[in-house]
Structure 1
Amino acid sequence: MDFTGLSAFPLTPLVDDKLDEAAYVRLIERLRTAGVDSIGALGSTGCYPYFSRNERATALRLATEHSGAVPVIAGIGALRTRDVLWLAEDAQKAGVSALLLAPVSYHTLTEDEVFDLYAAVTRELSVPLCVYDNPGATHFTFSDGLLARIAQLPNIGSIKIPPVSALERIASLRSQIPETVTLGISGDAIAVDGLNAGCGIWYSVMGGLFPEAALTIARAALAGDTAQAREHSAALAPLWDLFRRYGGSLRVIATAAELLGAVAAPCLPAPLRTLTGDARRQVAEVIETLRLA
């Protein structure tokens, strides 16, 4: 897998507090049909920490069975290195093309502890791994120096950087990591800027539900048509505003999926909840206004 283009991250929907296999398959098949470049199963949008090992294995089996030729990237984050290794083994047995790992923690980790985690995991892999820098969720912030050290490990294929300070970091990181390791941007609202600044892949939340809209932006940006990419991204400003207003993209996208009938309600693992009241009506209005249905 080459970690380029649009990587779409779908929800892992629930029904009656169990994995909604039928809805999940529909989401995966829609991404395959749309022609995304990869599918990020069990990412943050997929709420990976909330699922058991068996539930994760089932989700990955369904993803690989229904993704066709589209590569699947599997999230394997967990608190203990032992569990991460088990999840990596399960994911590879399911036939994924790559892995995604964030340094999940309860107690704040040190840089040496995080490096040791990636060193232990990469030694056991037969597929490449993406380093997931997500300080908002993990409460760990990678320094550029640590990312450069990790990038020298075997089987590192990509680094997924967060939107905060992303544009200032791209040139610095690019000069410190091997050419074989791609930089990827998360944070949908600034994806265009990240792609134009040198990122080779967009790890997209909205792409997991609205792949066509995300592909329009990604294809234009990666083809060098900056003006068109910016125009398409600017047209989605009401969606980006909802992401900012409601604490990130997860609840907005999950609410949109419920409103569209793509998943049952409630689709998120408790205690997480989708939006209600005025917030829910705002999501419905944005879907209609932007013709995302």
Structure 2
Amino acid sequence: MFSGLSAFPITPMNETGVDEAAFGRLVRRLAAAGVDSIGALGSTGCYPYLTRAERARAAQLAVEYADGVPVMVGIGALRTRDVLALAEDAQKAGASAVLLAPVSYHSLQAEEVYGLYENVTRNLSIPLCVYDNPGTTRFNFSDELHGRIAQLPNIGSIKIPGVPADPAAAAERVARLRALIPASVTLGVSGDWFGAAGMNAGCEAWYSVIGGLFPRTTLAIARAAQAGHADAATQLSERLRPYWDLIARHGGSLRITATALDILGLVQHPCLPLPLNALGGADRAELAKLIETLELA
């Protein structure tokens, strides 16, 4: 469940609700490509913008259209009571795992975050992936806190936000954290430009937004890293440098992902919740050219 390529699709929506047909198409596309798992309702899945009922329905659709591929469902929310309700919905939908970030409006303290995971794992019958996403949550996990949380029941993986660019430093970062967690808990890298580096450094999983958009391109990188072909994985990732640079210029993958899906004809416009918008004008044209030039698929 917590190894290989975990592909995170967008949840296409407009102001009337989730586009269920489009979401089903995206999930089926990932399953057909052969990804190892599917991450529904992650950050690119826009989970905070949906009601509980909409999230429960999206979880059901993801499991239904995944064709047996394991599905991990995001359950992040501001209040623990809501996280517990969302966890119950995900389990009822047949999810294989849940993904939890410490979502907050007021800054959380370490003991509050530990208490969140303690409460949630106590009420789970499926594994949980810890979502370390300081860019969004503004909470920075210490290695010591990761180690404590990893000892809780039902913790299956930790989704870290990246690794150093230097291979030796990346390997040291992964080894330092791994020394604090049980062998049963895997490490997964996120931040797609870190994917090859993270897997080459010893992360078992790549929790990937680009994997939810261009699964075959991403699988080639992941499979090279899994086979121990670090140079090949790095070269395949560096080939996508113009795409990584585009993400950096736009402050993340969400708008680019929505625009790319529109360009490919896989969603209807608009597919993001207001006030979010996809790219337009020259930015959209640049992305369309990149998709063609880099042969992204």
What's the TM-score bracket when you normalise by the shorter of the two chains?
A: over 0.9
CA distance in 2: counterparts of 1:281 and 1:20, whole angstroms: 25
CA distance in 2: counterparts of 1:268 and 1:207, whole angstroms: 19
Q: Which residue of 1 aligns with 2:271?
A: 267
- Quick check: 1:134–1:162 contact (8 Å CA) kept in 2? yes
Q: Which residue of 2 aligns with 1:242?
A: 246
Q: Which residue of 2 aligns with 1:148?
A: 147
- Quick check: 2:143–2:177 contact (8 Å CA) kept in 1? yes
Q: Which residue of 2 aligns with 1:66?
A: 65
TM-score (norm 2): 0.96
Tell me the SS of whatever aligns to 2:83: helix
CA distance in 1: counterparts of 2:184 and 2:140, whole angstroms: 23
Tell me the CA shift for residue 68 of structure 1: 1.2
User: Considering only aligned residues, what root-mean-square deviation do their CA atoms show, in Å?
Assistant: 1.1
CA distance in 1: counterparts of 2:275 and 2:15, whole angstroms: 13
Q: Is 46-55 or 162-171 further displaced after alignment?
A: 162-171
Say whether residues 1:219 and 2:219 are aligned partners: no
- Quick check: 1:15–1:264 contact (8 Å CA) kept in 2? no
Segments ≥4 residues shifted beyond 4 Å: none
Tell me the CA shift for residue 253 of structure 1: 1.0
Q: Which residue of 2 aligns with 1:195?
A: 199
Task: Give the number of aligned pairs.
Answer: 292
Residue identity opposite 1:173 in structure 2: L
1:233 is aligned, of 237, 258, 267, to: 237
Say whether residues 1:108 and 2:112 are aligned partners: no
TM-score (norm 1): 0.97
Tell me the CA shift for residue 16 of structure 1: 5.0
- Quick check: 2:47–2:55 contact (8 Å CA) kept in 1? yes
Q: Is 110-119 or 269-278 further displaced after alignment?
A: 269-278
- Quick check: 2:163–2:198 contact (8 Å CA) kept in 1? no
Say whether residues 1:162 and 2:161 are aligned partners: yes
CA distance in 2: counterparts of 1:203 and 1:232, whole angstroms: 17
Q: Give aligned-pair identity as a percent.
A: 64
CA distance in 2: counterparts of 1:128 and 1:134, whole angstroms: 19
Residue identity opposite 2:33 in structure 1: A
CA distance in 2: counterparts of 1:14 and 1:42, whole angstroms: 12
Q: Which residue of 1 aligns with 2:187?
A: 183
- Quick check: 2:163–2:197 contact (8 Å CA) kept in 1? no
Q: Write the deviation string for residues 164-219 of structure 1: whole angstroms up to 9, x where unpaired.
A: 65935312101110010000000111211100111000000000011000000000
CA distance in 1: counterparts of 2:144 and 2:192, whole angstroms: 25
Tell me the CA shift for residue 150 of structure 1: 0.2
- Quick check: 2:163–2:194 contact (8 Å CA) kept in 1? no
CA distance in 2: counterparts of 1:169 and 1:100, whole angstroms: 22
CA distance in 2: counterparts of 1:50 and 1:66, whole angstroms: 22
Q: Is 187-196 or 83-92 further displaced after alignment?
A: 187-196
Q: Which residue of 1 aligns with 2:41?
A: 42
CA distance in 2: counterparts of 1:91 and 1:169, whole angstroms: 32
Q: Which residue of 2 aligns with 1:134?
A: 133
Tell me the SS of whatever aligns to 2:206: strand
Q: Write the deviation string for residues 47-67 of structure 1: whole angstroms up to 9, x where unpaired.
A: 111100000011011010111
- Quick check: 2:15–2:274 contact (8 Å CA) kept in 1? no
Residue identity opposite 1:259 in structure 2: I
Tell me the CA shift for residue 17 of structure 1: 3.4
Tell me the CA shift for residue 6 of structure 1: 0.1
